[in-house]
Amino acid sequence: MRIALAVLRRDRRSQVATVLVTLGVMIAVSLVLWLVAAPNGLQARSERTLWRDVYGGQGTAAISVAATLDSYQGELIQRFDVARTRPGDVAVADGIARFPGPGEVLLSPALAELVRDNPPEKLGDRFPGTRLAELGQQALKFPGELVAIVGREEVPDGYPASDLRGGTGAYYNDYDAMLTLLTRVGLVVLVVPCLVLVASAARLTAAKRERRLAALRLAGASPRQVVVMTAVETAIGAVAGSVLGVLLARPFSHLTATVPWDGGTWFPGDFVPSPAVVATVAVLAPVLVVGAAVLGLRRVVDRPLAAEQSRRVRPWRLLTIAGGLGVFFLGVTTAGQMRGDNQFTVVLLGLGAVALALVVAGPVVTSWVGRFFVGRWRGPSTLLAGRRLAGNPAAAFRGSAGVVIAVFTGSMALTMLPGLESQIPFRDSTWREDAIVAERVGHDLTRLRLVTSAPIVAMLEGQVGDGNGGASVVVGKCEEVAKVMNGLTCLPGPAVYSRGPLPGTTFESMDVETALPGQYETRPFHGDGRVSAVIDRELLPAAAGAVSMVGVPTTPENREVVHTALIGSLPGVTLVDGEQLDLYGDTLLADLERATVIGLSIAAVLGGIGAAVAAAGSVIDRRRTFAALIAAGTPIRVLTRALRREVMIPVFAVTVAACGAGVAVGLGLLAVARGLLGHGESPITPWVVAPVGVGVVVALVAALACGPVLRGISPRDYAAE
């Protein structure tokens, strides 16, 4: 131990290596703690919004709840109309003062402020009644969320529930599952570059350390003494880095809490990992670093005279890629049959296996590339680089490993992103953009007609089929329906406006079932939304007066007023005009793009830093060799070009394979996402190969780090060695 401490006090290169190990472990620990805390943030949001799970009400129904999505000036509003169905107290979740009775309203602080700052006819009248209280933080998903709970005498078409507390599990939906999957994927693919960075820092002076320890072994040092010296030398930097990483994680988590996700930012405590997780990561990181350093001593301990020999790599390493892909696609197959927290376990294990397999198999490809250039090239720089790649492929590839994982991550993300974008719901072209349309209308429209002078289009939605499915149709007066629907051109007289032949003769809706007339005129319908046909009411006398949908054409000046009148007069209705869906889709799309940019940026930075550290370390390890070459008259520029090619050549060769693996894994993850969302495509764009070019550029920039180190070597260093 005294020898190890003396080396750290007196050897400048060992001090530099220790500082870099400290920085590498610090970055790795803080990043891992941040990534581990991300699922905790989603879980905290789920627990706070558990009371909104109105579709899973259990026990005796005591209330009726209608959950709807509303909007105001580009902001989404979560609205809950509630009513008692039997007398008695109703339990509520934390953050909700009490169950609102008829004429009582609970608003979130942000929505209450918005109501105060805007005219009541534009917003406040949507929530009629006495302001009972404001919703607390425990009932909100994120700061600034717009939520309203409106008490009613009755809620037509509401869902029965026992209370406003929710169940005992997590409030779970398919989009939450998709976000959880993406978060855990980020945890896996970013931890590997962290490990590569730490390994590069730990191996910064590996060659010199092996020579020193081999000399000590030959001088009589026992294997235990050699192991203790290495452990002490490595543990100082690893422990210091772990402590700094834990300290850095807290301000980093507060910074991350300001990044929007799923509509808003986070509460301060959402991104804080549990003390047990912090302790585990803080202890495990130094243990892994010290363990890796000790395991690398096998040759020094057993055969100290062979410490200078290059290590051969075996072709069996290539089989690890096939094994990793096999585990991954096995996980993709089983994920579609599972549900809950363990759904993605095998998928993530396979993903981590593929990433590690690329690192394990990389030296084999590096060795092949080196042999190719040695056998076919005559330029001095390329020959020197080829000799290095073929002679010590494991050490040569070490600088490329982080960049390879970054390319793998980038290709995977760029494969997934277009497919996920295709699965995000946006408005279709059924309704005109200037119209507001509501469905699930079980109300008398008299009150709506009293509070607005805008034309009201009453419609009945249903299907025409033959018992084996059918076409979605709308029944109403054609001239009125054309005011809110796209693609409809009316002519005098009753008719059926259809995109094609109707698949049956019977019209069915929630309350009406009747046959179409034996003879009717069919006219063209040019709409391309979800409605296939429009039937004039005169053709279906049994549907006279039946209403399930209401549409109102608006102008920019009266849109918010009409919106408020519609919501206030018809509580619990669901808006299907597309505005809310567009806002929700825009939010999801922005989240996916933001997560992709952040993840790829972190992967590229980690890969670049790892490559720079490894490139500088390769110069330090071969200081004696370079000093001898310089003393023999080799120009510095030749050696500089050789070092650059040592980094660039394996990066270009291995990143092509990493790109292919990333595309394959991305398609597999898209299959899992399709299983969650039930729709979408898997388009592959030319952008999936862009990470290869970016990786080469990053490697080139990182290789420049060895220039200053190389220029600091002189022939005197050879004599000193």
Give residue-wise pLDDT tens across range 268-290.
Answer: 888 888 889 899 999 998 888 88
Residue 442 CB neighbours (<10 A): 15
Residue 302 CB neighbours (<10 A): 10
Predicted confidence at residue 704, as pLDDT, reads 78
Q: How many helices (H) and strands (E) does the chain have?
A: 21, 16
Nearest 10 degrees: CA dihedral of 582, 585, 586, 588? Answer: 160
Predicted confidence at residue 339, as pLDDT, reads 61
Residue 188 has pLDDT above 60, yes or no: yes
Mean pLDDT of 451-466: 89
Helix-strand-coil split of the chain, %, nearest 5: 60, 10, 30
Distant-in-sequence, close-in-space partners of 334: CB < 8 Å, separation ≥ 6:
346
Share of the chain above pLDDT 90, in %: 20
The tokens of 407 are what?
């390319």
Q: How big is the chain, counted in residues?
A: 721
Q: Which residues pair with 224 in a beta bridge?
A: none
Task: Give the C-alpha separation, 154 to 582, whole Å.
Answer: 30
The tokens of 487 are what?
């693609």
The tokens of 714 are what?
């002189």
Burial 64-94 (b: 16+ CB within 10 A, else e): bbbbbebbbeeebbbbbbbbbeeeeebebbe
Give the residue carrying structure tokens 């109703």: 90
Query: For the segment 641-696, what is each residue's pLDDT rounded down to a tens digit?
Result: 888 888 888 888 888 888 989 888 888 888 776 665 555 555 677 878 888 888 88
What burial class does residue 160 get, using C-beta atoms within 10 Å of its C-beta: 0-12 exposed, 13-18 middle, 19+ buried?
Answer: middle
Q: Alpha helix (H) ranges present in 340-379?
A: 345-376
Predicted confidence at residue 473, as pLDDT, reads 94
Query: For the segment 246-256, what is each residue's pLDDT rounded down to a tens digit?
Result: 998 888 788 88
Predicted confidence at residue 720, as pLDDT, reads 57
- 227 touches 11 (CB < 8 A): no
DSSP string over 171-182: ---HHHHHHHHH
Residue 59 has pLDDT above 60, yes or no: no
Q: Which residues pair with 189 in a beta bridge?
A: none
Q: What 3-state DSSP class applies to 77?
A: strand
Predicted confidence at residue 310, as pLDDT, reads 60
Predicted confidence at residue 33, as pLDDT, reads 87
Query: For the segment 117-134, what is each residue's pLDDT rounded down to a tens digit?
Result: 999 989 998 898 888 889
Predicted confidence at residue 698, as pLDDT, reads 82
- Whole-angstrom CA distances from 579 to 21, 460, 461, 589 are 52, 21, 20, 15
Q: Alpha helix (H) ranges present in 429-558?
A: 446-451, 478-481
Task: Give the C-alpha separation, 409 to 38, whole Å.
Answer: 19
The beta-strand segments (E) located in 162-240 are none
Task: Give the C-alpha separation, 659 to 663, whole Å.
Answer: 6
Distant-in-sequence, close-in-space partners of 647: CB < 8 Å, separation ≥ 6:
399, 400, 611, 615, 699, 700, 702, 703
Query: For the segment 207-248, what is each residue's pLDDT rounded down to a tens digit?
Result: 667 777 888 888 888 888 888 888 888 889 889 999 999 998
416 residue type, one letter: M
> pLDDT-derived band of residue 308, with 50, 70 and 90 as boundaries?
low
DSSP string over 13-55: HHHHHHHHHHHHHHHHHHHHHHHHHHHHHHHHHHHHTGGG-GG
> pLDDT-derived band of residue 171, with 50, 70 and 90 as boundaries?
very low
180 or 68, higher pLDDT: 68
Task: Give the C-alpha separation, 505 to 539, whole Å.
Answer: 12
Predicted confidence at residue 631, as pLDDT, reads 85
Share of the chain above pLDDT 70, in %: 89
DSSP string over 136-151: -GGG-SSTT--EEEEE
Query: For the segment 555-587, what is each residue's pLDDT rounded down to a tens digit?
Result: 988 888 999 888 888 877 888 877 877 888 888
Predicted confidence at residue 243, as pLDDT, reads 94
> pLDDT-derived band of residue 467, with 50, 70 and 90 as boundaries?
low
Task: Give the C-alpha separation, 597 to 381, whole Å.
Answer: 36
Residue 112 has pLDDT above 90, yes or no: yes
- Residue 88: left (phi > 0), alpha (psi -120 to 50), or beta? left
Mean pLDDT of 619-628: 81
Select the highest-mean-pLDDT range: 551-565, 599-613, 700-714: 551-565
- 551 touches 435 (CB < 8 A): yes
> pLDDT-derived band of residue 156, with 50, 70 and 90 as boundaries?
confident
Average predicted confidence (pLDDT) for the chain: 83
Residue 46 has pLDDT above 90, yes or no: no
Predicted confidence at residue 109, as pLDDT, reads 95
Q: Which residues pair with 150 in a beta bridge?
A: 81, 105
Predicted confidence at residue 205, as pLDDT, reads 62
Pairing outcome for strands 522-524 and 496-498: parallel
Q: What 3-state DSSP class applies to 296?
A: coil
Predicted confidence at residue 209, as pLDDT, reads 74
The beta-strand segments (E) located in 467-565 are 470-475, 496-498, 506-508, 513-515, 522-524, 533-535, 549-553
Put simply, whether the predicted model's pTM sits higher than 0.85 gets the answer no
451 residue type, one letter: V
